[in-house]
Chains A and B, each alone.
Chain A
């Protein structure tokens, strides 16, 4: 026997009132990162990382630029979802609020810098 109201059951949100969206976002970004991560790891093996001109040429190839931007954006998003849960698990009160805000800021700034860096090379800045 379920003690949940019919409305609660049909909304499917559980006791916390939300969660499925976070759960799905984490899985979907994870699947994207499996593909992007393998591509990035294999690509690094083909590069002489000490040679800037070769690295810049690789980054500014259109396909690589797009995939790198997707990697930075998806990894930042997935990372934010994960670190958020870690903070929610281990901290309380104001430190939790401050931590969640700080982590969100750091991820957005990191993603912004990464995307602009790739665009600058891709567009020949």
Chain B
């Protein structure tokens, strides 16, 4: 199809970001991040099965500052995707579609995901694990 000189419809970047659209794309982004996280989970399990030496390497890599920053990101992606996934399943039952409800559930997901991530890491760091 030749576009020629016909005017194009307004593209994504001219729209003001809204809680609804931002959370929608974040669900996809966090999902892709978690897909990579599966590889980390599998690496951790394989390292544990491989023996003391490989497990020490894994804890050194994952427990480093850089590793912990990444794990923090994965924790946030995990809680966000989990909570927003529940929001999606509620929508699938036909409930919560009013704009006010969509915005409120969106903010609830954001706040809860942040809170759970913080609580999780406070417990991890207080326990000296990681």
Q: Which residues of A contact B (CB under 8 A)?
A: 27, 30-31, 33-34, 37-38, 41, 44-45, 47-50, 52, 55-56, 59, 68, 71-72, 75-76, 79, 82-83, 86, 106-107, 110-111, 113-114, 116-118, 120-121, 125
Determine whether the beta carbon of B86 is less than 8 Å from that of A34.
yes
- Complex alpha-carbon distance, A47 and B55, angstroms: 15
Q: Are A37 and B59 in contact (CB under 8 A)?
A: no
Q: Are B120 and A68 in contact (CB under 8 A)?
A: no
Chain B interface (Cβ < 8 Å from any Cβ of A) = 28, 31-32, 34-35, 38-39, 41-42, 45-46, 48-50, 52, 55-56, 59, 63, 78, 82, 85-86, 88-89, 92, 120, 123-124, 127-130
Chain A residues near B50 (CB-CB < 8 A):
117
20 contacts between A and B (CB under 8 A): A37-B78, A38-B82, A48-B129, A50-B63, A55-B48, A72-B38, A75-B38, A76-B38, A83-B31, A86-B28, A86-B31, A110-B38, A111-B42, A113-B42, A113-B45, A114-B45, A117-B42, A117-B45, A118-B49, A120-B49
